[in-house]
Amino acid sequence: MTDALIIGGGPAGLMAAEVLSAAGHSVIVADAMPTVGRKFLMAGKSGLNLTKAEDKDTFEAAFGDALDTLAPILSDFGPDAVSDWAQGLGQDVFTGSTGRVFPVKMKASPLLRAWVARLTQEGVTIQTRWRWTGWDGGSATFNTPEGPQTIDAKTTVLAMGGASWKRLGSDGKWAGHLLDVVAPFQPANVGFEIPWSDHMTQHFGTAVKGCKLTAGGVVARGEFVVSNKGIEGGGIYAVSSAIRDGAPLVLDLLPNLSEADIAAKLAAPKGKQSTANTLRKVLKLDPLKRALLNEFGRFSDASLPATIKALRFPNLVPRPMDEAISTAGGVRFGALDGDLMLRGRDGVYCAGEMLDWEAPTGGYLITACLATGRWAGLAAARRLQAS
């Protein structure tokens, strides 16, 4: 029998393994994929955004309705702690102009290699291609390349991720073994489908910059990309949960000008200049912004300033969940105690993206996965020490 079994080898699971091993307990990590941390590696493909350097209240506000539960967890292991942890693995970090924190080497692979090496040195056993199939009494059961296997553990941390990016291991199949405590999965940080008219084709792959996006009560600044499928990118992800839940997307094409400022510019004498040339020369709207205005705007000269300040998109449908960066839904917090232990199964904890929370991209996701994994691991360690 092992002291601790961790099911899932992403950031949450590996962090739980780290604190349990550091407390002197025997630990087995079981992951369904050929190697651990596959989604973590993909997250760092274009630069691993570990966390966000900003004041505590602003950082925690990104977690919305889940904050009541996550606040003490994030306070215990927040952005500064994440940076210190990465540097403890020999990976120096830097803070970009927007407050996002990255390893100096940018990629996730050096950090993950150092982390796995340290865990292995501490005696953590990592089993790959082990897919959890549920429980047999108090034992965890797995399908493995060597056939069915069973592990008896004094305590268990479940950290199996959400339900997007199946090819990287986050397929949500584990929910079938926890049906009574799982909220339905929904895509988060996701793009949206738009059946563009032909004149938009020339703009596919181009970023929309310098806009303000509003959906429901959520307001964001950030770029997004127009693609043949629709719209995607950081600016859209920041408001995607509100759009997914039914709020319209409204775009302010010139956020640094008031409606009155725009009206005054348009009222200036312009001779025989066309509306298109006025938008280009007087308001400095780039080709893509003008194309969006033509695509969705229904305006007269009098209503043009208001339309520029509040260009309303049609009802939007999310792209498929497997394309989402993350998912909402998962194990409900009401099914867990303050230590993230399942109320219906003593000694079994949950952590990471398999919990029912969501947050925008920008370092929030990885930070919360690390923080909840650590929180569950520390609680499991306390339980072992008390037994």
pLDDT of residue 269: 66
| List of E strands, 333-376 | 348-350
List the domain range (segments joined by +) for residue 84.
2-187+322-386
pLDDT at 175 over 90: yes
The rounded distance, in Å, linking the Cα atoms of 202 and 73 is 47
Higher pLDDT, 331 or 263: 331
What confidence tier does 43 reach under pLDDT thresholds 50, 70, 90? Answer: confident
Check residue 49 and report its DSSP letter: -
* Count of domains observed in the chain: 2
**End position of a domain, from candidates 318, 344, 362:** 318
Do residues 229 and 91 both lie within one domain? no
Quickly list H helices, 31-78: 38-43, 56-61, 67-76
Print burial letters for 174-201: b (CB count within 10 Å at least 16), e (below 16).
Answer: bbeebeebbbebbbbbbbbebebeeebe
Given 318, 336, 371, the domain boundary residue is: 318
- Residue-wise pLDDT tens digits, 144-162: 999 999 999 999 999 999 9
CATH number of domain containing 331: 3.50.50.60
Q: Is the pLDDT assigned to residue 32 strictly greater than 90?
A: yes
- Do 293 and 376 lie in a common domain? no
Q: Do 247 and 305 reside in the same domain of the chain?
A: yes
Last residue of a domain, one of 279, 301, 318: 318
| Cα 59-60-62 angle, rounded to 5 deg | 80
Same domain, 304 and 329: no
- Rounded to the nearest integer, the mean pLDDT of the chain is 92
- Cα dist. 35→41, 79, 168 in Å? 11, 27, 10
Q: Which pair of structure tokens corresponds to residue 280? A: 């280009």
Q: In terms of domains, do 207 and 106 share one?
A: no
Specify whether 79 is located in the same domain as 226.
Answer: no
366 shares its domain with 218: no
- Tell me, yes or no, whether 371 and 257 share the same domain: no
The pLDDT of residue 132 is above 60: yes
Does residue 331 share a domain with residue 294? no
Same domain (yes/no): 41, 174:
yes
Residues 43, 182, single domain; the answer is yes
Give me the pLDDT at residue 70, please. Answer: 96
Question: Looking at the structure, do residues 338 and 263 belong to the same domain, yes or no?
Answer: no
b/e per residue, 310-340, with b = 16+ CB within 10 A?
ebebeebebbebeebbbbbbbbebebbeeeb
**pLDDT on residue 270:** 61
